[in-house]
Amino acid sequence: MYMTNKYAGQQVLVMGYALTGKSVVNYLRKQNAKITLNDRGDLSKDPSVNLLLKSGIRVVDGGHPLQLLEEIDWIVKNPGIPYNLEIIQEAIRRNIPIYTDVELAYRESLAPIIGITGSNGKTTTTCLTHHLLQDAWKGKVELAGNVGVAAIEVAQKVSEDDLIVMELSSFQLMGIETFHPQIAVFTNIYSAHLDYHGTREEYIAAKLNLVKQMTKEDYLVYNADQVELETWLEDCSAIKVPFSRQKIVTSGAYIKGQSFYYQDQEVAPIQTFKLPGEHNLENALAALAVAKIKGVSNETIRERLSSFKGIRHRIQPLGTINGIAFYNDSKATNTVATITALKSFAQEIVYIGGGLDRGNDFADLIPYLKNIKAAFLYGESKEKMQIDFTTAGVENIFLLKNLDQASQEAINYAREGQVVLFSPACASWDQFDNFEIRGDRFIDQVESFRRRVEEGEFNE
C-alpha cells in the first residue's frame, strides 16, 4: 500500500475538479499536503467541496487569479486545461513545476506500467492489451489513464506483482517528469490537437515524453509502418519491438498469410480477431507484442483475441440478426472517425448519421461513400450531410427527425449480407447529453429488433 505523508506540508495547487481533480485532491489529503483547489466553474453546489472546506482545504472557483501562485510549490492540473492560460504561463515563468495526475500515479505505483499512446487506436489497443493479460498474469492487471479511470486511484491499490495498463494522451504526457513505463507502446503519431499544442512539432514532442526515462531494460513497441515514427524513436535506449501490418519484422509482431506472427512464430489466425478494419489489425499486433513480451502463451492469446468484443461505441459489433451485421460507432463525433469506420467494411452499408451542426460540411466523407446503399440522416446536420452524400452519388437518402426514427427505418431497409453502421460524424448535443447515451439508444433499437426476430415477428 501507499505511504502517507509523502507530500506533508507541501503547498499544492490543484487545477480542475473533474474526475482526475477529485482523485488528486483525495490522494493529496491522505499525504497531508496543503491544498488549494481551483476551478473556473461554480463549485458551491458540489457537496464534496463543502466537506473539503471543512477539512481546511482552500477553494477558489470562478476563475484562475494569479494570486493563487503565491507560496505554491507545485501544480497538478487537469490535462484538458491549456498551457496558454495566463496563470499557467506565469507559473512557467516562475519555474513552478506543473504535473498531471499520471506523474503522481507513477511515483506512487509499486506495479510496473505499460504506457500506451498514439493519435489513433490507443483506447482499443489499451483495452485489448488489458484483455490479453488478464488471467494470464500472476497478479492483478489494472486499467487506468485516458480510458476514464483515474491513474492515481489505481496506483494506490497495486503491488509489485501487479501491472497497470495505462492509456496516455498528449495532454497527460506534457505533465510528466519522472514517469517511466516498463513497456511503452506507440500505435502511430499523426497531426492532432493542434488547437491545444499550437504546432505539430509540439504535439510530437509531448508524445515522445513517454520514452524520455526509458532504459535498456525496458521495451518499446512501435508501428514500423510509419517511417517518421521510427526516426523519432531512434534515440530511445529501450529494446525496440516493432509491429507491422505491411511487412515482415522478425524482431516483432507482423502478419504473414492469414495469421498473426511474433518473432517468426505463428501466434493466431487473423480470423480469431473479430473487430473489422485494417486499423484494428494494427491495434491487435501492438497488443499481441506486449502480451508476448510479458510471456503470455499463444493458446491464451488466441482465446483472448477471439473473446474481445471491442470498445463500447467505437465500431462496436452488436452481432448479426437475420444476416445483417450491426455496428455502433457513436464515438465518431467527426468525419475523421467516420472515415475510419467506412473504410472497415467491404460489404454494402446502410448508414445512419447526423447530430449537432458545428458549422462544418461533410465533403471529407465523399471518397469513402461508394459502398453506401442507403443513408438515414437525422438531427441538425441532416441537410448538410445530404448535400455531400448526393455529390458522392448515394442514391437512397432519407431525412429523419431523430435517431430513433433513423434507426428504425434503417433496420427495416437493410437486407441479408449488408452492414448497418451508426457512425454519426457529428457531436451528440443536439439530442443527447453525450455520445455514450446516444450509442446506448442505438443499441436499444438493435436489441429491440433482435427480440422481435426471436419472437418470430419476421417469420413468413
Q: Which residues contact 335 (CB under 8 A, 6 or more apart)?
A: 360, 362, 364, 365, 425
Residue 266: how many other CB atoms lie within 10 Å: 12
120 is in an annotated binding site: yes
Q: Does the pLDDT value for residue 2 go beyond 60?
A: no
pLDDT tens track for 72-95? 999 999 998 999 999 999 999 999
109 is in an annotated binding site: no
Q: Is the sign of the CA dihedral 41, 45, 50, 53 positive or negative? A: positive
Q: Does the pLDDT value for residue 1 go beyond 60?
A: no
Q: Which CATH number is 11-99 given?
A: 3.40.50.720
Percent of the chain with pLDDT over 90: 86
Model pLDDT, residue 119: 84
pLDDT tens track for 128-166? 999 999 989 999 999 999 888 899 999 999 999 999 999
Model pLDDT, residue 194: 67
pLDDT tens track for 278-318? 999 999 999 999 999 999 999 999 999 999 988 899 999 99
pLDDT tens track for 214-231? 999 999 999 999 989 989
Model pLDDT, residue 305: 96
Model pLDDT, residue 120: 82
CA-to-CA distance for 53 and 48, rounded, in angstroms?
A: 9
Q: Which pTM was predicted?
A: 0.86
Identity of the residue numbered 373: K
Q: Does the pLDDT value for residue 455 go beyond 90?
A: no
CA-to-CA distance for 321 and 417, rounded, in angstroms?
A: 10
Q: What Rg, from alpha-carbon coordinates, does the chain have?
A: 24
When pLDDT is cut at 50, 70 and 90, the band that residue 460 belongs to is very low
Task: Determine the average pLDDT of the residues in 45-65.
Answer: 93
Q: Are 330 and 435 in contact (CB under 8 A)?
A: yes
Q: Does the pLDDT value for residue 192 go beyond 80?
A: no
Among residues 142, 59, 138, 56, the alpha carbon closest in space to that of 105 is found at: 142
Q: Which CATH number is 316-454 given?
A: 3.90.190.20
123 is in an annotated binding site: yes
Model pLDDT, residue 16: 96
122 is in an annotated binding site: yes
Q: Are 315 and 341 in contact (CB under 8 A)?
A: yes
Residue ranges per domain, the chain? 11-99, 102-307, 316-454
pLDDT tens track for 366-399? 999 999 999 999 999 999 999 999 999 999 999 9
Model pLDDT, residue 135: 87
118 is in an annotated binding site: yes
Query: E-strand spans in 4-73?
Result: 11-15, 34-39, 58-61
When pLDDT is cut at 50, 70 and 90, the band that residue 456 belongs to is confident
Model pLDDT, residue 385: 98
Looking at the structure, give the CATH architecture of the domain made up of residues 102-307: 3-Layer(aba) Sandwich (3.40)
Model pLDDT, residue 166: 98
Q: Does the pLDDT value for residue 319 go beyond 80?
A: yes
DSSP lists the bridge partners of residue 39 as 61
Give how far Cα 86 sits from Cα of 18, 68, 175, Å.
Answer: 21, 12, 17
Identity of the residue numbered 389: F
Phi and psi for 194 in degrees, rounded to 5? -70, -20
Least confidently predicted of 146-150, 307-311, 416-420, 445-449: 146-150
Q: Does the pLDDT value for residue 3 go beyond 70?
A: no
CA-to-CA distance for 371 and 346, rounded, in angstroms?
A: 7
Q: Does the pLDDT value for residue 30 go beyond 80?
A: yes
